[in-house]
Amino acid sequence: MTAPKKLFIKTYGCQMNVYDSERMAEALGGQGYTEAKSADEADMILLNTCHIREKAAEKVYSELGRFKKLKAQKPDLKIGVAGCVAQAEGQEIMRRQPLVDLVVGPQSYHRLPEMEEKAREGEKVLDTDFPEEDKFEKLKRRPKSKRGPTAFLTVQEGCDKFCAFCVVPYTRGAEVSRPADRILTEARDLVERGVREITLLGQNVNAYHGAGANGDLTLAQLIWELDKVEGLERIRFTTSHPNDMMDDLIEAHGTCKKLMPYLHLPVQAGSDKILKRMNRSHTAESYLRLIERIRAARPDILISGDFIVGFPEETEADFQATLDLVEEVKYGTAYSFKYSTRPGTPAAERPQVDPVEADDRLQRLQALLTRQQREIQDSMVGREVGVLFEKPGRQAGQMLGKSDYLHAVHVADCDRQAGDLARVRIVSSRTNSLAGELID
């Protein structure tokens, strides 16, 4: 009997890449691959890459360089690069790193089985097309193995916004939404396998407009369809754009019990001048009024955001406007970054901010965001929240889960199992988590 081949996937970047890596593993499972715990034991290595952060491509080349010795020891080892760096630099990857056997873009990974066969025959295989066929429909159905209580589910890909700093429209393509019936089928399958919370994913998820039985559905309408799935207890979605936060979605936050009180709504900057240069198509004021409407619908909602500091031509006054916006919104969590150029984007050609100044601004912004995050977390003490338990904690009898607001919660002397939902009273706040006790 032939021993199964081993597949090792290293995933960089966002939750969509995590989802993509799962589906790539499933696609190659049909070729006889099982999971490898490390690159050393693999018959095939895939790097699923992200192009958002600074020097993303160079990090990939550095990682590939570490595999040279392994490739020399195992001549039959196949190495592939997938994801957004693959899409952006496919031919260059092949030229610079001859040890790479295949390169596949994020819209073509349903073709991995046939690409793997060609690679096994000694071919160098490159596929960075934007194919017309639906990759999700072409992929094999997920195996019926047991899953953890939470899962990602991609519903939308690509972006039409063309923010001046972003490569997503070039690496993921135009906005495309999956048909609602296929999403619902996949959601039911996940629930059958033990999933109780699903996070809907998209580069611009609230622009979802997937085909339904009686016309296209909005994201809110899709959420209400998912609300009917028996056994699915929690729904989340990420990442959103302020311009696509429609009335029905705001209303759903106030009326759909399964939709959790957490919203990631990036603003990027608080200066209208910088927002215009970013091509964000909204203002600081319109964003603030949108937050007011969302909180009117769901007063306890936790708001999360993204920020870029040191964007080309940003002045100290522009940065102060960002701090002012943060002070007004009061974020429960946020992600902040120093601007880094992405070749091929409009902002890359503009006058850059002094890196020392940008570093200073980032530290000041992060200090403010950290203070707000801790204040909101501390305010949870004494409150009752729902917690979905995911795994045992480090101490005997302890369980770890996530609250409705996505806070990590530790519960001692807990007789619940992974996948259980329980009411918990928060008793203390730690640096990046909360401690609670069971109520029921």
Sign of CA dihedral 280, 282, 283, 285: negative
Name the nearest CA neighbour of 103 among 43, 72, 61: 61
Residues in the annotated binding site for [4Fe-4S] cluster: 14, 50, 84, 159, 163, 166
Name the nearest CA neighbour of 421 among 386, 397, 371: 386
142 close to 26: Cβ distance less than 8 angstroms:
yes
The kind and range of the H/E element at 222 are helix 219-227
Cα separation, 135 vs 120, whole angstroms: 23
User: Which two three-digit tokens encode residue 228?
Assistant: 């009917």
Q: How many helices (H) and strands (E) does the chain have?
A: 14, 21
43 close to 6: Cβ distance less than 8 angstroms:
yes
Query: What does the chain come to in residues?
Result: 440
> Both ends of the chain: CA-CA distance in Å?
51
DSSP characters for 26-85?
HHHHTTTEEE-SSGGG-SEEEEEE--SSTTHHHHHHHHHHTTHHHHHH-TT-EEEEEEHH
Work out the number of other CB atoms within 10 angstroms of the CB of residue 375: 12
Residues in the annotated binding site: 14, 50, 84, 159, 163, 166
